Every structure is written in structure tokens, then in C-alpha cells.
Chain A
Amino acid sequence: VIAVIADGALAQAVPERSQAARLASGFRRWPVAGVDPFRHVFWPAFGLVISGGGAGWNNSVNAEDLGALIFLSDETDNPSGLLPSDYLNLIGLVPSGQGLSGSAQAEGGVSLGGALGRRLSIAVSAQGRGYGSATIDESVVRFFQEGNAADSVFEVGETSGTALATAEGGVHALIHLGPVSSVDGPIVTVGFGGRYVRPLAYGRGFLDTDSRIFVTGDSIAANVAAEAQYAAEVDGADTSFKFLPTGSGFAADFLVRLTWPTAGLAVEAMVANLGSVTVEGVRRETVEFAVATRSITEVADSLDVLESETQGLDNTVDLTLPRIVRFGASAWANRILQLDGVATLPVGGDFASPLVVELGSTWRFVNALPLRVGLLLDGRQGIGYTGGVGVETSNFLFRVSGGSLGGFLRNATGAVGRVELGFLF
């Protein structure tokens, strides 16, 4: 439908022999933020690409706060280190009414492949990926931010932390169809791929959602249940964290991209990371703490004798990978400027992430030296900025890009970054 409408509605903005038309369409995809399994298979020639990138954010500490923390914790500059008031002030940085939360994703690896003629692109890749997130319940933060003079019930169950690292090997392919309908019609690119996922490391800790603490000057009551899960290696009586645990998974990725080369327009939809990974040999340890007393001493005594209970040494955990649903559009009218809009929908679960909208512009004053500038709108962090620079030739490709979340440089509460180095044959 889009093709038909576009065919009729879009005028030819990019003459066929213009400089803008000569730019390989694969170079027009340049999302900065988030996982993109089709990133390299789009490139215009067969080649080897080594890349790495990551993103991390939190909702409280910006870059300048981080610099202050680093400075204060540096023993050379400040022998006293962080003082109690620093920790209090740090808690005070958490936005009112929110818990302390943060997450990070990173990926790195190698990809071999690219375009095999006009109609087909294919690439195999080996990647390592990591996902991590942590949340401290708003009630916990509120206790330290506001004390317990006004409120004495603290529901702490929304406290958790999860980390997963995977090794992945996969194949992705693109089929380019068209132009459809007319010579100015869209080129339809259908992409699909799959990845075999092997867990490298897994750990998770969380409080039961009903966990709560009641604290007044006269009494303390706590009912807290916690659970820790981790891939474990058992050697006699000793249990240690195990890397490369048994388990596997599969993830599927799909993409549809419509490109109108002569109109200077492309739209894209991608659904990726559909799948799960199973981690075996997971040790579960639970601990329950229930106390109702009028003496903090009894609380301390109870904590002294608190012991975890092992719920099994060989549990199997199924983890749903953080799904990626992304829509994007690009437009260009000349060789210099390209405008992009990419929206990554929010996802819940262990590795929840908010809606992220990237509004970018790519400037090619020199065709082989693109510059990237844009905005990064995050559903939780606010406005951030992106930037990047690259070298794109027929045989060599290098891109470095980065961005901030929640502000620019000093005010940023998160950061994204990526480096790609490719050799095209």
C-alpha cells in the first residue's frame, strides 16, 4: 500500500545520476542507539566488520555528578574519600517519587558478509552481548530522602537486578526486490535472520513484590523475601559463580525496508531479538526476613542469624530476550543532507527500556566523510544528543558515534556509543 501511495505521491527528488543517488543505500542506515542485528548485512559490499557498542543510563546521576564522585573517591585527590554526607547527597539526586534505576546493554563482535549482487545480502556474525539492569524501589529511596517522620510504610518489592551475558552466532539475509510498480517505485528489502544464543553468565536478585518494611520511632516490622539466582558451579561443598553455563536459546530478527531512491525516502520496520535463552544449572537461594519488634537490637540480632535457603542447585531459567520493535524513516534530497527518524518502542520485563526516538541528520560535505548530528528523545531521560563521524569508502569503513541521554555532556544521565571498523572486498 505504501508503495502504491508513494509511487503516486512522491515526486522524483533525487535524479538518477545525481551524487545523492550514487550513495550506497546501505550507508544510509546509521542508527546510533540500541541493538541492530541487520546493521552490517546492509553494507554495500562483502566484507569483514568488527564492531562494538553499548548504552547505559540511569535516572539520577549525570556526567558531572559522576565526575564529582570519581574525584571524591580518588584517594590521591581526597584522602577521606566519600563522606557520609556524600552518600546522602547522592541519594538526594534520585528524582522525587522515583526509585533509583539504571540499565546497560553492550554488544561486540565480528560480522562477515554484505551484498552479494543487487538482490541478496547475507552475513554471518559472532557476537557477544550483555544486558543488565537494576532498580531500587522508590520506597527505599524515599526512606533516605524524606525519613520516616511523615510516612512509615515502605514497600520495597520493586527492587531487583539482573545481568545476562550471551555469546551468539547467527546468519542474516536481505532480499532486495523492485523497484516495485515503476522505475521510481520502492525497492523492498525483506530481512530475516536467526541467532543461536548461548549464555555466558547469568545472575539475578530480587525482592518479593509483597516485601515491605514498617518503621516508626516506636516499632519496626519487616516482611522481606529475597531471592538470588546465578549460574553455579558446585565443587564438593563449595559453590562458585559459573561462566559459560549450560543452556541455549534462539533469537529471530525480521525487517522490512522500503526505499525510494529517486524520491530520497526510506521507511523501515524491524522486529528483533524475538526469542529466549535457557540457562541451566541455576542455583536459587531464598531468604525470608520477618520481624516485628520495638527494638532495633532485635532486628540486628535477627539479621545476624539470617541464613539463606537453597532451593535447588540445578534449576532451569528461561529468559525472554529484550524484544526490539523499531520503526524508522529517512529522507534526503541532495548528497549533503539526510534526515532520519527512528523510534524504538518501549519494552518491559527484566531488561525494560523506555520509548526512544532518535532524530538524526547525516551531513556529507565530503561523500566519504559523513558527519552525524541528532537528538535522542528518551521516554524517561528526556532530550539527549547524538553525534558521529565516519569514513566510508568502497573498501574501508570506519564509524564512531555516540550520544547522550537526558542532556548534553555534563547533564547527560546516560550514554550510547559505537565503533565500527570494516574492510570491504
Chain B
Amino acid sequence: VRTIIWAAAGGLLLGIAACEPATVTEAREQLQRGRPDTIRLAIPIADDTFDISDFELEGETTIGDLRAIAFVPHTLEAAVAPGLAVAVEEPKELLRGDVDFGDLEDAVQGTTINTGRVQLVVRNTAAVSVVLSDFTLGAVELTASGQVPRDAFGDPVYQTDTQGNPILVPVVDPGQVTLSIPGGDSVSVSLSGPSLLDRIVHLLLDDRRVAVIAAGTATAAAGQPQPGARISLTFHLVVGLDVTLPDTGVVFTSGSAQEGLGLEQQEDIDDLVSTVIRAAAGAIIENETPFGVVVEIAFAAGDLGDVDVFQVPGAVTLDPVTVAASQVNATGRVTQAVTDTAEIAVAGQELPALLGQDFTASVRVRLMPGSGGGGRSALGLSDRIIVHARASVDVERGGGQ
């Protein structure tokens, strides 16, 4: 480089070698000759539509046009005998890992689930039809040893509602009081059970041991004896993302280590810190979801592992960013989208943490309910967020003639 530059300049110019400064500081000051100036460069960084239906979640499914998350399916079995009415009581413990709300877990804990269904497939291996009567699904909190708690009559102690009534979902044909399964056949029914799902989810997220109990009477029609005949109930618990939030919203935090800009030399970092006056990412957000959000971000240099960076001494905490919630109706569905603007900016001594090899960030999100739904917000499949994002950077330079 030296040779090329000298050659280009015409090395014949007498005395040019004397122009080389003595120190790095002098050299930099030379290039900064003239008045300083501040430049703003702005570029669009995103123009994307995020459809809720495109988000991939573990166990994602739908309830109608509502976004939902399904538990891992489980199966219960009970023996039946032609011509006999058999009392059935089969418990099945659910595990915390049977459902995954991801980063929304903390948020779900603070909400009330308004939509939940039990997708039930009942298979009858007997040659004759079976009728399920007084058949219900309920939830119990297991004892520490995994036993079903029972009352003085030996009945399971089901979870109850606020009135003290057991939360039970009747297993019936639509409009009937029983469920009939033809011989050698299976029947699928979808049962509404928001209270049951709400209770199960909250118990699981509270690290309690929970079991679903199928109980009732299975009556097989008369026929030839058939050893091994049984009915099996395979149930999917499906939680609709139709929740009621408190007015103050619910908060959840996620954090992870991120790659920084990768500068290794402290001089490079110092240079950018002194050059970049302010870097900002701003967005115009068209929110067509029933939620509003208040986002806080904290970050600190280095890979700090699984920590809440908000609690790390010296961490940089940026000003909260708020995106207003849409108007919703009584069922929590979006009736009118809202357009809002948001901006995150870093400046000065907030920058160095982002410029090294790694940094760790925590994001604290306060999920706010939609406006007009009494706290209820239901996430539909057609809901979406449209983001027009831009980045701008203000840099300072010398020079100018």
C-alpha cells in the first residue's frame, strides 16, 4: 500500500517524506482538518408482514380460526364386556413437557384461558356398540407420590371452579347426554373445556403434578363374550390463544447471548464509539393482533449465560418501546388495527457492549390486552403485524474544505 500510494503521488516531489506525521494522533488530526460535520444516514431495513399463522410453535394447531397450542396426546383404556355396564375411572398424568408455550410461558401464567378444547377419539374394539354415560374428563392435582387424591367416599378430588364445583367436561355426542361408539369403530368428538384447560395449564406451569381422569360408565350392548374387548380414549388437550389479561398486562422475559459486531481491538471500539453519535432502529408498526406490548431491552458485554441481564450491574437498559394494542370486541378479536411507531436508539457509552465478540441481552415484554375487550385478547389466524423498519445512524466526521 505504501509503495502504491507513494507512486501515485509522484515520489519525485521533493520533501514529501517530511509530510509523514510523528504520531497516530497527529495523523488522525491531519485527516480531520477542516470543520467537523454530522451526517445522518438512513436506510430501510425491513418491510415485512408477520402473519400469526406463519409463526411456528411447538404443538401449534387451530381452534376454528383461532391460534392454538396442543398438548401431546394421551390414551386411556378401559375393558368392556358385552351386555355389561362397567364403571370406568382411568387417570393419566400429564407432564410439564406435554405442552410448550415457549417464551410465552410466563405470560400465559398470568392470564385466564378462555378457549380450550378436548379433541377426543374413542375407539371401540368390541364387536358390539358401547355407550358412555355420565362420562366426564376432569383434572386432579396428584399427591407428591403421584397418587390420585380422594375424598371420604373414595371419589377423586377434582379441581373445582370458584363456586367449588368440580370442573368436569362431559363426554357426549353433540346434543346428547351420552356418547355411543359403534362396535369395532371409533368416534371423534370435540369438547369445549376452557376451565379445565385453564386449570391444567396453570397447575403444570406452577410445577404441580396433574392427571386427567376419565370417569363414568361404559355399557356394552348384548352380544357374544369377547375377551380383551376395550375402549380407548385418545385425547388432545388444545389451548386456544384466547386469554384474559389483567389491565396491567403480563410480563415475560427472555434472554440469550448474541454475536456482537466482532471488533477485537479496543481502539476500533473506541473509534466507533467516538464516531457514532447515535444509532437507532425505528419502525412504523401496523398492529393487527389483539395485544399491545411494552418492550424493555437490557444488554451487557460478553456471553453471560442464562441470566437476567436486567439484574447485571453495569448493564445497559434502553428506554421502553411501546406498541399500542388494537381495538377488540367482547370475544377479544381484533376489530380495528392500530398503527404505532417505535424506536430503539443507542448512543455513546451504550455502544461498546454491542461492538465486541458477544453480548447478552434480555428482553422484558409486557403483553397488554386489546382495547375494548375487558382484558380479553384472542389471537386469530389472520392476525398479523406489518413492520416498516428503518435504521439511521448519526456519525461525526472531520474534513470538509
Residues of A within 8 A of B (CB): 54-56, 60, 63-74, 77-80, 83-86, 88-96, 102, 104, 143-149, 215-220, 293-297, 387, 400, 402, 404, 409-410, 412, 414-419
B48 & A63 in contact (Cβ 8 Å cutoff) = no
Contacts of A77 in B (CB 8 A): 24
Contacts of A400 in B (CB 8 A): 12
Known interface pairs A70-B5, A91-B399; 9 further A-B residue pairs with C-beta atoms within 8 A, sorted by A's residue number: A67-B17, A68-B28, A68-B30, A72-B31, A92-B32, A93-B400, A148-B42, A295-B44, A419-B12
Binds A, one of B136-144, B264-272, B371-379: B264-272
Which of A71, A219, A296, A387: most chain B CB closer than 10 A?
A: A71
Contacts of A295 in B (CB 8 A): 44-48
Complex Cα–Cα for A410 and B14 (A): 10
B398 & A89 in contact (Cβ 8 Å cutoff) = yes
A144 & B27 in contact (Cβ 8 Å cutoff) = no
A68 & B44 in contact (Cβ 8 Å cutoff) = no
Asked whether A88 and B267 contact (CB < 8 A) given A56-B8, A218-B44, the answer is no
> Which of B14, B42, B271, B401 is within 8 Å of A147, CB to CB?
B42
Contacts of A80 in B (CB 8 A): 265, 267-268, 271
Contacts of A71 in B (CB 8 A): 20-21, 24, 27
A92 & B41 in contact (Cβ 8 Å cutoff) = no
Which of B9, B46, B275, B282: most chain A CB closer than 10 A?
A: B9
Asked whether A89 and B399 contact (CB < 8 A) given A149-B40, A410-B19, the answer is yes
Contacts of B397 in A (CB 8 A): 85, 88-89, 91-92, 145
23 CB-based A-B contacts, threshold 8 Å: A54-B10, A56-B9, A60-B401, A68-B28, A70-B2, A73-B5, A88-B39, A92-B37, A93-B34, A95-B401, A145-B400, A147-B39, A215-B43, A294-B46, A294-B388, A295-B46, A297-B46, A409-B16, A410-B19, A415-B12, A415-B13, A415-B16, A416-B10
Contacts of B44 in A (CB 8 A): 216-220, 293-296
- For the complex, is B392 an interface residue (Cβ under 8 Å from A)? yes
Complex Cα–Cα for A77 and B24 (A): 8
A411–chain B nearest beta-carbon distance, Å = 10
> Which of A68, A104, A149 is within 8 Å of B8, CB to CB?
A104
Tally of contacts, chain A with chain B, CB under 8 A: 194
B144-202 interface with A by 8 A CB criterion: none
B270–chain A nearest beta-carbon distance, Å = 9
B386-401 interface with A by 8 A CB criterion: 388, 390-392, 395, 397-401
Complex Cα–Cα for A64 and B390 (A): 39
Closest to A85 in B: B275
Closest to B45 in A: A296
Complex Cα–Cα for A89 and B43 (A): 21
Closest to A56 in B: B10
Complex Cα–Cα for A71 and B388 (A): 44
B23–chain A nearest beta-carbon distance, Å = 8
> Which of B17, B20, B33, B265 is within 8 Å of A79, CB to CB?
B265
Complex Cα–Cα for A415 and B20 (A): 16
Q: Shortest 10 CB-CB distances between A and B: which pairs?
A: A92-B399, A417-B12, A415-B10, A294-B47, A217-B42, A67-B19, A415-B13, A67-B20, A68-B27, A217-B390
Contacts of A74 in B (CB 8 A): 2
Contacts of B1 in A (CB 8 A): 70, 73
Contacts of B41 in A (CB 8 A): 143, 147-148
B13 & A63 in contact (Cβ 8 Å cutoff) = yes
Which interface class (under 10, 10 to 19, 20 to 34, 35 or more) fits B? 35 or more
Closest to B264 in A: A80
- For the complex, is B15 an interface residue (Cβ under 8 Å from A)? yes
A92 & B42 in contact (Cβ 8 Å cutoff) = no
Contacts of B232 in A (CB 8 A): none
Contacts of B16 in A (CB 8 A): 63, 66-67, 409, 412, 415
Complex Cα–Cα for A250 and B73 (A): 89
Which of A147, A412, A414: most chain B CB closer than 10 A?
A: A147
B20 & A217 in contact (Cβ 8 Å cutoff) = no
> Which of B39, B46, B272 is within 8 Å of A84, CB to CB?
B272
Asked whether A404 and B13 contact (CB < 8 A) given A89-B399, A90-B399, A295-B45, the answer is yes
Contacts of B43 in A (CB 8 A): 215, 217, 220, 296
- For the complex, is B258 an interface residue (Cβ under 8 Å from A)? no
Closest to B8 in A: A56
Complex Cα–Cα for A400 and B14 (A): 11
Contacts of A70 in B (CB 8 A): 1-2, 5-6, 20
B31 & A145 in contact (Cβ 8 Å cutoff) = no
Complex Cα–Cα for A28 and B42 (A): 60
Contacts of A144 in B (CB 8 A): 39
A409 & B48 in contact (Cβ 8 Å cutoff) = no
B355-382 interface with A by 8 A CB criterion: none
A72 & B27 in contact (Cβ 8 Å cutoff) = yes
Asked whether A417 and B6 contact (CB < 8 A) given A84-B275, A294-B44, the answer is no
B6–chain A nearest beta-carbon distance, Å = 7
- For the complex, is B341 an interface residue (Cβ under 8 Å from A)? no
Complex Cα–Cα for A350 and B26 (A): 37
- For the complex, is B274 an interface residue (Cβ under 8 Å from A)? yes
Closest to A417 in B: B12
Contacts of A56 in B (CB 8 A): 8-10
Asked whether A147 and B388 contact (CB < 8 A) given A71-B24, A417-B12, the answer is no
A96 & B401 in contact (Cβ 8 Å cutoff) = yes
Complex Cα–Cα for A89 and B400 (A): 8
B54–chain A nearest beta-carbon distance, Å = 17
Contacts of B26 in A (CB 8 A): 68
B5 & A66 in contact (Cβ 8 Å cutoff) = yes
Closest to B41 in A: A147
Contacts of A102 in B (CB 8 A): 8
Contacts of B37 in A (CB 8 A): 92, 145-146
Contacts of B282 in A (CB 8 A): 217
Complex Cα–Cα for A92 and B274 (A): 16
Which of B40, B43, B395: most chain A CB closer than 10 A?
A: B43
Contacts of A72 in B (CB 8 A): 24, 27-28, 31
Complex Cα–Cα for A101 and B121 (A): 78
> Which of A64, A69, A387, A418 is within 8 Å of B5, CB to CB?
A69
B2 & A83 in contact (Cβ 8 Å cutoff) = no
A56–chain B nearest beta-carbon distance, Å = 5
Which of A54, A79, A294, A418: most chain B CB closer than 10 A?
A: A294
Contacts of B14 in A (CB 8 A): 387, 402, 409
Complex Cα–Cα for A60 and B34 (A): 12
Contacts of B11 in A (CB 8 A): 417
B13 & A92 in contact (Cβ 8 Å cutoff) = no
B197-234 interface with A by 8 A CB criterion: none
Contacts of A219 in B (CB 8 A): 44
Contacts of A63 in B (CB 8 A): 9, 13, 16, 19
Which of B27, B395, B400: most chain A CB closer than 10 A?
A: B27
* Binary flags per residue of B249-282, CB closer than 8 Å to A gives 1, else 0: 0000000000000000101100110110000001
Contacts of B24 in A (CB 8 A): 71-72, 77-78
B215–chain A nearest beta-carbon distance, Å = 56
Complex Cα–Cα for A64 and B397 (A): 18
A387–chain B nearest beta-carbon distance, Å = 7
> Which of A65, A73, A215, A409 is within 8 Å of B30, CB to CB?
A65
A68–chain B nearest beta-carbon distance, Å = 4
